[in-house]
């Protein structure tokens, strides 16, 4: 037996032997990463520079885009690009645990941000007279800070329980490091890890249930109001619900793969399901929020228009 502190590396066995196609995969992944970074940075810049968007909902959205989409995808894509080009798919033990921390924090903060956004929408639509009191700028800052700090604390405990385990191997049958995969390699008692893992998962399930319950309350109020109120509320809540459903499906695929033997599935499908929650949400969020939230859509058009004017003026001055 060996302690995880003595394991110098883990081997990731889920990668395909793609041969010359690895350069095609590399190009596709680079393109996806550039699109994700560009789209999310654009929305963050639009929200930050436009004072009309300095409202609680857009501040929470900015937090979601920055911490999750950029932080989560950056934890995956550079590593994935390196592994695609490499013939030996190994990762150091220290980086493996760092990657686990990054991914678990990404998922938890995503759900926490969506929960805070649903609470914000509930107050705005169901309790409009109390909204500005309950969602002052100081309270918005506290909610965002708690979303980050509590998540980092919870994930930190998860890592601290896994790192000291005695391991019987170093083979991880995935394309990135996963905490549950490391726990399955353990020779020592994992009862505490399993209990904490179940509580961690149940907390996220309760959080998602509360989010759906909140939106049910919102929709109930919407359909009992005027047509204009109903249309405005639904157009505002639709992006959040779509984002929640998309990310919940990705997280569900990941949990199913961890808990059940999926070796009967084609390897390419398993890889896709593994990285779905880390790639599709960062791609999906800028599109769904940019197209459905009118203020952001108009602001994006203005920013892009200014960039075109600036580029044209620069070219004209250069020619003169």
Supply the pLDDT for residue 31: 92
Task: Give how many domains the chain has, as a whole number.
Answer: 1
Whether 90 is in a domain gets the answer: yes
Q: What is the dihedral of CA 144, 147, 148, 149, to 10 degrees?
A: 110
CATH number (domain holding residue 288): 1.20.1070.10
Query: In angstroms, what is the C-alpha Rg of the chain?
Result: 22
59 is written with which tokens? 């501040």
Got the DSSP string for 124-188?
HHH-TTTHHHHT-HHHHHHHHHHHHHHHHHHHHHHHHHHTT-EES--EE-SSS--HHHHHHTB-S
Whether 317 is in a domain gets the answer: no
- Among candidate residues 127, 126, 293, 131, the one with its CA nearest the CA of residue 224: 126
Residues 199 and 112: their CA atoms lie apart, in Å, by 16
Whether 300 is in a domain gets the answer: no
Q: Is the distance from CB of 76 to CB of 278 less than 8 angstroms?
A: yes
Whether 199 is in a domain gets the answer: yes
Residues 312 and 42: their CA atoms lie apart, in Å, by 20
Q: Is the distance from CB of 33 to CB of 73 less than 8 angstroms?
A: yes
pTM: 0.84
Supply the pLDDT for residue 160: 93
Whether 303 is in a domain gets the answer: no
Got the DSSP string for 100-126?
HHHHHHHHHHHHHHHHHHHHHHHHHHH
Supply the pLDDT for residue 293: 66
Q: Is the distance from CB of 176 to CB of 254 less than 8 angstroms?
A: no
Whether 312 is in a domain gets the answer: no
Q: Identify the domain containing residue 22 by its residue range.
A: 2-293
DSSP reduced 3-state for 302: helix
Residues 130 and 152: their CA atoms lie apart, in Å, by 31
Each residue's pLDDT tens digit in the chain (320 positions)?
444 446 778 998 887 776 778 888 889 989 989 988 888 888 888 888 887 788 888 899 888 888 766 777 888 888 888 888 888 888 898 899 999 999 899 989 988 999 999 999 888 888 888 888 888 888 999 999 999 999 999 999 999 999 888 888 888 888 888 898 899 888 888 899 999 989 998 998 899 899 989 888 888 877 776 777 677 677 777 888 888 888 888 888 888 877 777 777 777 787 888 888 888 888 888 888 776 666 666 766 665 665 554 454 555 554 54
């Amino acid at each position: 037996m060996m302690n995880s502190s003595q394991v110098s590396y883990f081997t990731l066995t889920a990668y395909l032997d793609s041969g010359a196609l690895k350069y095609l995969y590399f190009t596709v992944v680079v393109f996806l990463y550039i699109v994700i970074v560009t789209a999310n940075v654009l929305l963050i810049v639009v929200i930050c520079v436009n004072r009309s968007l300095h409202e609680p909902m857009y501040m929470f959205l900015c937090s979601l885009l920055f911490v999750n989409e950029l932080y989560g995808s950056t934890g995956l894509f550079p590593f994935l690009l390196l592994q695609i080009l490499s013939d030996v798919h190994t990762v150091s033990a220290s980086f493996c645990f760092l990657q686990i921390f990054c991914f678990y924090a990404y998922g938890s903060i995503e759900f926490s941000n969506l929960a805070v956004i649903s609470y914000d929408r509930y107050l705005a639509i169901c309790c409009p007279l109390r909204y500005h009191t309950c969602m002052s700028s100081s309270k918005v800052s506290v909610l965002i800070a708690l979303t980050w700090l509590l998540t980092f604390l919870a994930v930190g405990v998860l890592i601290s329980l896994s790192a000291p385990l005695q391991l019987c191997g170093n083979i991880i049958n995935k394309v990135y490091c996963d905490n549950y995969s490391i726990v399955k390699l353990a020779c020592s008692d994992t009862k505490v890890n399993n209990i904490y893992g179940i509580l961690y998962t149940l907390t996220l399930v309760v959080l998602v249930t509360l989010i759906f319950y909140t939106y049910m309350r919102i929709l109930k109020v919407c359909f009992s109001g005027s047509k204009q109120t109903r249309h405005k509320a639904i157009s505002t809540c639709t992006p959040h619900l779509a984002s929640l459903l998309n990310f919940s499906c990705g997280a569900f695929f990941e949990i199913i793969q961890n808990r059940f033997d999926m070796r009967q599935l084609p390897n390419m499908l398993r890889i896709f399901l593994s990285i779905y929650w880390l790639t599709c949400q960062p791609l999906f969020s800028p599109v769904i929020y940019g197209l459905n939230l009118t203020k952001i859509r108009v602001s994006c058009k203005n920013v892009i228009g200014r960039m075109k004017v600036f580029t044209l003026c620069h070219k004209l001055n250069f020619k003169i």
